[in-house]
Amino acid sequence: MINVDLEKCIGCGICKADCPTANIAIVEGKAVHGKVCLDCGHCLAVCPQNAVAQAGDYDPAEILNCEDPGKFAIEPERLLNFVKFRRSVRQYTDEPVTEADIAKILEVGRYTQTGANTQTLRYVVLTKDTLREITPVALKALAGLDVKSVDKKAMRMPPQYLDFQSIWIHWLSVYEKKKRDLLFHGAPNALLVVSRTGNEVDGCLNAGHLELMANALGLGVCMMGFGTFAFAVSPELRERVGLQAGESVIFMMVFGHPSVKYLRTVNRKKVHAAVI
């Protein structure tokens, strides 16, 4: 909920106009909040008098004030080129990712938008030792999957994933014979985006921002669709990382310092878009 400092409030109505749930009224020249509040903070951010505060589990010290937020803007062409040079990294050095860098990645996830500001996501960071421990478990879960018994309608992953079992069997064989990890690529860390609601949309939005921050830190990332699927089909994996009843791994990514350097962008198919 929201608290309004009535001495500061001048009843300008800017917060009322910006409230997504029409939850604010101007009564006797002051902003009054109702009960239909999303805790989105728009009224706090837009108030010219700084008269609004969020109640509850929020730290006011985190708020940034800036007369010209535009100074944080990123040039469109620079952002586009940054995304164009993004690669899925599958080769990593042994250099550990610092706790400070991991904290920055999680922080951008915390500030990523969620539907109705529900903020239902949490994270599990996997260390190198944990990743090495679960690698054979994940490979065996994928290679040994009874694909005929899988309910394709209930799958949270594309049904086409089931066509890759021959590849998973090969990966398991390579791992058992050569200890080469073709699933998690020997990455030093992984990040699990977890939700109790199975909210794939929020998870995908979050994963995109997490990757951008990791790339901005000079780290390489590989989105783990197959890894995410392994957690969906393996109770042992879910138990190993402490998932609770009703929770799902919405998305998995591995990350670390890349041992490979990409020198140019690659081609993409033309965009298909309709203007109606």
Query: What pLDDT digit, counting tens, does each position of 213-226 carry?
Result: 999 999 999 999 99
Residue spans of alpha helices (H) in 38-159: 42-46, 76-84, 99-110, 128-143
Domain boundaries, the chain: 2-62, 76-256
Phi-psi map region of 103: left, alpha, beta (phi>0 left; psi -120 to 50 alpha): alpha
Task: Average the pLDDT over 110-120 and give the result.
Answer: 88
- Provide the CATH topology of domain 2-62: Alpha-Beta Plaits (3.30.70)
Task: Average the pLDDT over 65-91 and give the result.
Answer: 93
Cα separation of the two ends of the chain: 39
pTM for the model stands at 0.90
Q: What is the pLDDT of residue 145?
A: 87
Confidence tier at 66 by pLDDT (50, 70, 90): confident
60 token code pair: 């006011």
Quote the CA–CA distance of 101 and 112 in Å, as a whole number.
17
What CATH class does 76-256 carry?
A: alpha beta
Query: What pLDDT digit, counting tens, does each position of 137-191 carry?
Result: 999 999 998 877 777 666 666 777 788 899 999 999 999 999 999 999 999 999 9
Q: Is 248 helix (H, G, I), strand (E, B) or coil?
A: strand
2-62 and 76-256 in the same fold: no
Name the percent of the chain lying above pLDDT 90: 78
